[in-house]
Chains A and B, each alone.
Chain A
Amino acid sequence: MLDFLKALFKPAPSSGETAKERLRLVLLSDHLSLAPDVIESLKRDLLAVISRYVEFDSANADVTFEQREREVAMLASVPITAVRERPKPSPDLLFALEPSSWPVRENGAEPVSGQLLGSDELAAESGPEPAPEREPEMAAESRAEEAPLELAVATVPKPKPARSGNAAGTRRRRRKKYAAATNAAKAKHPHPQQLGGQASAQA
């Protein structure tokens, strides 16, 4: 009964408070010219970078934005618990600092590192041994999912023919209701439209 009463009288946030918080967030986004989800990505990536050099209490780590006079300041509060013995900057992160040097890979070459934006992977990485080898497409895909940044698009390697065949198959299955004759035609001539189809499915 007491709990019920407590629940009944528990002060919900007033609409004034809600307005205040909405206003804070919308202006933050306005001033930075960044979409809210990009701000979230920025926070996550920043912590991922820090985790390469130091161990920290991730439960109490926070990145906040504060409105100063006419600009926004980004403040990171990261309680450091230990320093990693051998910090190792990711080559991809160095590329990220200078967009003109972003690699444009040809012929399905391996990316320099598959560790750019996978914060979970970075957090898990404690020893000096390199991260497990991953198939290039997988790495590129996971980046695109986790952080929709242009960088991820720039490092997508050219798809291998076998893969585009698979993608075409998926596409065909999706469009099962269309005429079987069309399917047969597509199977005979899988390129190049199906490559385009795969790209749009990925994006």
Chain B
Amino acid sequence: MRAFDSPAVELDPIPEPAVVRGRAIVITSGKGGVGKTTTTANIGAALAAMGKRVVLVDADVGLRNLDIVLGLESRVKYHVLDVLEEKVTLEEALVRDKRSDNLFLLAAAQTREKEDVVTAQMKALIERLRESFEYVLIDCPAGIEMGFKNAVAGAGHAIIVCTPEVSAVRDADRVVGLLPNSWRPELIINRLRPQLVKKGKMLSVDDVNGILRLPLLGVIADEPGVIVASNKGEPLALDPASETGAAYRAIAAKLAGETVAAPAVLVAPSGGFLSRIGSFFGGRA
């Protein structure tokens, strides 16, 4: 746990005018299969579409998927361990997105193990990326072991992805407890089915966040479009017609500090729960 020790009082970093000093944000959940990778890809694509310089780091060594979700699998030549082991330069390993000049991917090694990554090296790598990118989004592997520790080590902020299920909320709660105390992680509730919540057959946004008590970054509905997008390797955030895409764009805007219609409108657990979730997020600032 040494890696997570943080000073009680955070001092403002001394400004370095020459470099960017972007934000390193880890997307984590504890439980697997709740949509961390899809969330990372979509927030990254949306931020890039806003004109931000973004790099997505796949920290899921051994089980990389971020390249697939982004449709970049055929472009990946090198991975994060090649960089850490100084086989290639960081610039050589970065894959430029085919749709945006602002979006880059640093893939995970597929045939290696999480224990091969040295935490201090990973931290130094994220530091380097922060010098060239405004946003460094780190796709964290499931679990709370070495892979999680490596993914969190270089980050300064966390986004917790959680589905409205008992197991996912429990794991999210555990993960929040493992993050540095000074952090204030933000929550994305993924795969919500408003109709089921209405019928009392699914935990509502209030139920989930009544337990986790985190700032709510957004809510993503469970809809077929997400799977279609994953099939095609096209993040929904780039589809102007998609309501879910609009929700991701709203999340990205909120993350970037823009004023977005409060998702609190969504949390009414019964009655008045409109199924058109995306429309609430559609009104981007």
Q: Chain B binding site: helix, strand, loop or mixed by DSSP?
A: helix
The CA of A106 and the CA of B57, in the complex, are separated in Å by 64
The CA of A17 and the CA of B173, in the complex, are separated in Å by 19
Which B residues are CB-close (under 8 A) to A23?
A: 166, 169-170, 203, 207, 211
Does B213 contact A30, Cβ atoms closer than 8 Å?
A: no
Among B73-81, B93-101, B194-202, the stretch in contact with A:
B194-202
Check: A182 CB closer than 8 A to any chain B CB: no
Check: A58 CB closer than 8 A to any chain B CB: no
Give the contacting residue for A15; candidates B173, B201, B204; CB below 8 A.
Answer: B201
Given A67-B211, A69-B213, are A19 and B170 neighbors across the interface (CB < 8 Å)? no
Does B207 contact A30, Cβ atoms closer than 8 Å?
A: no
Residues 181-222 of chain B, each 1 if its beta carbon lies under 8 Å from chain A, else 0: 000000000000000110111111001000101000000000
Q: Chain A binding site: helix, strand, loop or mixed by DSSP?
A: helix
Check: B64 CB closer than 8 A to any chain A CB: no
Check: A14 CB closer than 8 A to any chain B CB: yes
Check: A177 CB closer than 8 A to any chain B CB: no
The CA of A15 and the CA of B207, in the complex, are separated in Å by 13
The CA of A100 and the CA of B211, in the complex, are separated in Å by 37
The CA of A24 and the CA of B203, in the complex, are separated in Å by 12
Check: B174 CB closer than 8 A to any chain A CB: yes
Check: B223 CB closer than 8 A to any chain A CB: no
Give the contacting residue for B197; candidates A16, A26, A27, A67; CB below 8 A.
Answer: A16
Closest Cβ–Cβ distance, residue A177 to chain B (whole Å): 46
Check: B165 CB closer than 8 A to any chain A CB: yes
Residues 114-129 of chain B, each 1 if its beta carbon lies under 8 Å from chain A, else 0: 0000000000000000
Which residue of chain B has its CB nearest to the CB of A11?
B200
Closest Cβ–Cβ distance, residue B110 to chain A (whole Å): 34
Q: Apart from A15-B200, A19-B165, A27-B211, list 6 A-B contacts with CB within 8 A.
A: A14-B200, A16-B199, A16-B202, A23-B203, A23-B207, A26-B170
21 A-B residue pairings within 8 Å (CB atoms): A14-B199, A15-B202, A16-B196, A16-B197, A16-B200, A16-B201, A16-B207, A17-B200, A19-B166, A19-B202, A19-B203, A20-B203, A22-B166, A23-B166, A23-B169, A23-B170, A24-B211, A27-B169, A27-B170, A27-B211, A30-B173
